[in-house]
């Protein structure tokens, strides 16, 4: 559901950016709307944001949205004054709506290797005759 809302915000940005140009008079679209090349760039970037958000990669989506917002803010002089408020509002809402939630990938726990048997404490076997090897094993 969150990805759907993010996609909706991205779509709104695309509509504002791409739909503002005057397709009937492309040579004058820079005066009546967003320049087509700029609108296409922003449209592609908004789509990348939607794809990242839909895939559950919210941190990437946020990074892309912040970069898009910075680019839109830097390019406002190329956008007609009447379109600046809705464009800036849309791109700002898009970036503000995305919350980076890192995906924590847990490593599968490897089974513990069986514990090595503890070394037995040394026994006094040789020369002490505990096993009947002559003479009782005592020094003479």
Q: What is the pLDDT of residues 18-70, one digit of tens each?
A: 454 444 444 444 446 788 999 899 999 999 999 999 999 999 999 999 999 99
CA pseudo-torsion sign 27, 28, 29, 31: positive
DSSP-H helix ranges across the chain? 2-18, 29-32, 36-54, 58-74, 84-97
pLDDT at 120 exceeding the cut of 80: no
Distance CA 125, CA 135 (A): 14
Burial of 47 (0-12, 13-18, 19+ CB in 10 A): middle
Question: Using a CB cutoff of 8 Å and minimum separation of 24, what contacts does 48-52 make?
Answer: 49/6, 49/10, 49/94, 49/98, 50/3, 50/6, 50/7, 50/10, 50/11
End-to-end Cα, the chain, rounded Å: 91
pLDDT digits 0-9 by tens, 76-110: 999 999 999 999 999 999 899 999 988 777 776 77
pLDDT given at position 136: 55
Per-residue pLDDT, averaged over 119-132, amounts to 60
Q: Which two tokens stand for residue 30?
A: 């820079």
């Amino acid at each position: 559901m969150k990805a759907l809302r993010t996609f909706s915000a991205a779509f709104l940005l695309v509509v504002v950016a791409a739909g503002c140009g005057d397709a009937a008079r492309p040579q004058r679209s820079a005066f009546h709307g967003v320049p087509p090349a700029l609108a296409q760039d922003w449209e592609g970037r908004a789509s990348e944001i939607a794809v990242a958000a839909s895939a559950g990669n919210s941190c990437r989506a946020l990074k892309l949205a912040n970069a898009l917002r910075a680019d839109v803010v830097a390019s406002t002089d190329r956008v007609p004054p009447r379109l600046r408020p809705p464009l800036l509002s849309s791109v700002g809402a898009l970036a503000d709506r995305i919350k980076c939630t890192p995906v924590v990938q847990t490593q599968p726990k490897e089974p513990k290797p069986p514990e090595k048997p503890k070394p037995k404490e040394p026994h006094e076997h040789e020369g002490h005759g505990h096993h009947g090897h002559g003479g009782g094993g005592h020094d003479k």
